[in-house]
Structure 1
Amino acid sequence: MKICCLLPSATEIAYAVGLGDEVAGVTYGCDYPLDARQKPVIVHSKLPRKLSASEIDQQVHEFVERGESLYRIDTEALQRIQPDLILTQELCHVCAASPDDIASALETLPNTPKLLTLNPHTLSDVWNNIREVGRATGHDEEANALASLLEERVREVSRLVTGRPRPRVVCLEWLDPPYIAGHWVPDMVEVAGGLDVLGHIAEPSFRTDWKAVLAAQPEVIILMPCGYDLQETVDEYATWDGPNDWTTVPAVWNDRVFAVDATSHFSRPGPRLAEGVEVLASIFHPDSVPDNWFDGRASRCSVECGRIR
Structure 2
Amino acid sequence: MRIVSLLASGTEIVDALGLGESLVGISHECDHPPHLLDRPRVSRPRFDPEGLTSGEIDAAVRQAMVEHGSVYEIDGAVLEGLDPDVILTQAVCDVCAVPTDEVQEALGGRGIEAEVVSLDAHTIEDILASITQVARAAGDPDVARDAGGSLRRRLDAVQAAVVDADPPRVLGIEWFDPPFAPGHWVPEMVELAGGRNLAGEAGQPSREVSWGEIGDLDPDAVLLMPCGYGLEAARADADAHAKQLARVAPRAVGEGRAWVVDASSYFNRSGPRFVTGVEILGGLLHPDRLPAPDPAVAAAWSPPA
What's the TM-score, normalizing by structure 1?
A: 0.94
Matching residue's letter, 1:58 = A
Change in 2 beyond 3 A, CA 1:143/1:245: closer
Q: 1:290 maps to what in 2?
A: 291
Contact kept in structure 2, 1:17 and 1:139, CA below 8 Å = no
Between the aligned partners of 2:223 and 2:245, the Cα distance in structure 1 is 19
Between the aligned partners of 2:249 and 2:223, the Cα distance in structure 1 is 17
Q: How high is the sequence identity, in percent, across the aligned residues? A: 35
Matching residue's letter, 2:148 = A
Q: Which moved more, 1:62-71 or 1:84-93?
A: 62-71
Q: 1:112 maps to what in 2?
A: 113
Q: Tell me the CA shift for residue 262 of structure 1.
A: 0.6
Change in 2 beyond 3 A, CA 1:32/1:68: same
- For residues 37-84 of structure 1, the C-alpha deviation after alignment (integer angstroms, 9 at most, x for no partner) is 211000101122321110001111222334521111001101111110
Change in 2 beyond 3 A, CA 1:6/1:261: same
Between the aligned partners of 1:244 and 1:222, the Cα distance in structure 2 is 11
Contact kept in structure 2, 1:220 and 1:251, CA below 8 Å = yes
Between the aligned partners of 2:224 and 2:249, the Cα distance in structure 1 is 18
Change in 2 beyond 3 A, CA 1:123/1:44: same
Matching residue's letter, 1:68 = G
Q: Tell me the CA shift for residue 296 of structure 1.
A: 3.1
Q: Work out whether 1:19 is the aligned partner of 2:19.
A: yes
Q: 1:195 maps to what in 2?
A: 196
Q: 1:65 maps to what in 2?
A: 66
Contact kept in structure 2, 1:214 and 1:249, CA below 8 Å = no
What's the TM-score, normalizing by structure 2?
A: 0.95
Alignment of 1:11-50 (within 5 A): 11-48=11-48, 49-50=50-51
Q: Tell me the CA shift for residue 142 of structure 1.
A: 2.0
Matching residue's letter, 2:152 = E
Q: Tell me the CA shift for residue 114 of structure 1.
A: 0.6
Contact kept in structure 2, 1:13 and 1:271, CA below 8 Å = yes
Change in 2 beyond 3 A, CA 1:297/1:111: closer
Between the aligned partners of 2:111 and 2:58, the Cα distance in structure 1 is 38
Between the aligned partners of 2:112 and 2:97, the Cα distance in structure 1 is 24
Change in 2 beyond 3 A, CA 1:218/1:104: same
Between the aligned partners of 1:166 and 1:259, the Cα distance in structure 2 is 19
Q: Tell me the CA shift for residue 118 of structure 1.
A: 0.7
Between the aligned partners of 1:114 and 1:225, the Cα distance in structure 2 is 33
Alignment of 1:1-309 (within 5 A): 1-48=1-48, 49-66=50-67, 68-243=69-244, 246=247, 249-291=250-292, 293-302=293-302, 304-305=303-304, 309=305
- For residues 240-284 of structure 1, the C-alpha deviation after alignment (integer angstroms, 9 at most, x for no partner) is 352286176321221211000111100111000000000001111
Root mean square deviation of aligned Cα: 1.6
Contact kept in structure 2, 1:168 and 1:195, CA below 8 Å = yes
Between the aligned partners of 1:248 and 1:275, the Cα distance in structure 2 is 26
Unaligned runs of 5+ in 2: none
Q: Tell me the CA shift for residue 139 of structure 1.
A: 2.7
